[in-house]
Amino acid sequence: MNVTCIHLALFRFKKKLYIYSLMFNSDTESMEKIVSTAARLTRPFTVVVEGNIGSGKTSFLNHFSKHKDVMVLTEPVNLWRNCNGHNLLGLMYENPVKWSFTFQSYVQLTMLQNHQKRTHLPVKLMERSIFSARYCFVEKLARDGLLPKPSAAVIDKWFRWVLHNADVDVDLVVYLRTSPETAYERILKRNRSEEETISFDYVKSLHEIHEQWLYRKTLWECPAPTLVLDADLDMSVIISEYDKCEPFILNKVSVPLEARAM
């Protein structure tokens, strides 16, 4: 057992001990307080929002960031753009053969940091995850031969190690499902400087990987039940779709095992 495992085991043990001590020692404390303390000490209901580039994740997160019970964690793009002064995102798009491994290693680390972030709020809503990092983006780069096989193997080893040794558990996946055409149109419209080189073909094949993973479920494992939203809808209409899925996100209602588009 290594040091990280011991720390993790010790933390879980202390947590349980504290909850038991509350339950057995307090005659005045109400059950409600015990339950809320236990909830605070355990992981929040964790939702990850997945989808192609340009699928509208930012609008979705902005919508839920107004909710008092939800901690929103956006993709750490600013970190990717400035790793000790280096714009890794820009370098990756400029020269993927040279920089994909560096960029994806950092993405994996920053995603793990987001999974590990604590909150006293009952719900944590993350933009993408360590799962899409490995299953969609690393996969795409490896398939295209832009990430050499030995480099992809190292990222995969790290990923598997993390799954077994850290808490990256997810309770719900929201898949913002767009057509590649709509996603590409939105990418062109937002005009992010690093993304100038993205081609329609790239968006199309990234779409296909998302479909296999989260819609058809023929690729990889899904880390949690999936809610599929029609994210092609216009902004004026999509708000009502967000509202419809609110009870699932706030953990008021469980998602049926095979939930499809709402």
Residues that bind ligand 8LK (CB under 6 A): 53, 75, 77, 89, 107, 111, 128, 132-133, 137, 195
- Cα distance between residue 151 and residue 76, in whole Å: 23
Candidates 50, 127, 185, 211; catalytic one? 127
Distance of closest approach, residue 28 Cβ to ligand 8LK, in angstroms: 47
Task: State phi, psi for 86 to the nearest 5 degrees.
Answer: -105, 130
Taking the least distance from each CB to ligand 8LK, the nearer of 34 and 77 is 77
End-to-end CA gap in the chain:
45
Question: Which 3 state secondary structure label does DSSP give 174?
Answer: strand
The number of helices, as runs of H, and strands, as runs of E, in the chain is: 12, 5
Distance of closest approach, residue 115 Cβ to ligand 8LK, in angstroms: 11
Q: Is 241 annotated as catalytic?
A: no
Distance of closest approach, residue 111 Cβ to ligand 8LK, in angstroms: 5
CB of 87 closer than 8 Å to CB of 75: no
Distance of closest approach, residue 178 Cβ to ligand 8LK, in angstroms: 14
Taking the least distance from each CB to ligand 8LK, the nearer of 50 and 171 is 50
131's CB contacts (< 8 A; 6+ apart) are: 48, 50, 168, 170, 220, 223
Give the closest residue to 203 by CA, choosing from 260, 152, 136, 261. Answer: 136
How many of the other CB atoms lie within 10 Å of CB of 17? 10
Taking the least distance from each CB to ligand 8LK, the nearer of 69 and 169 is 169
Give the closest residue to 220 by CA, choosing from 124, 113, 125, 133. Answer: 133
| Total length of the chain | 262
Catalytically active residues are 127
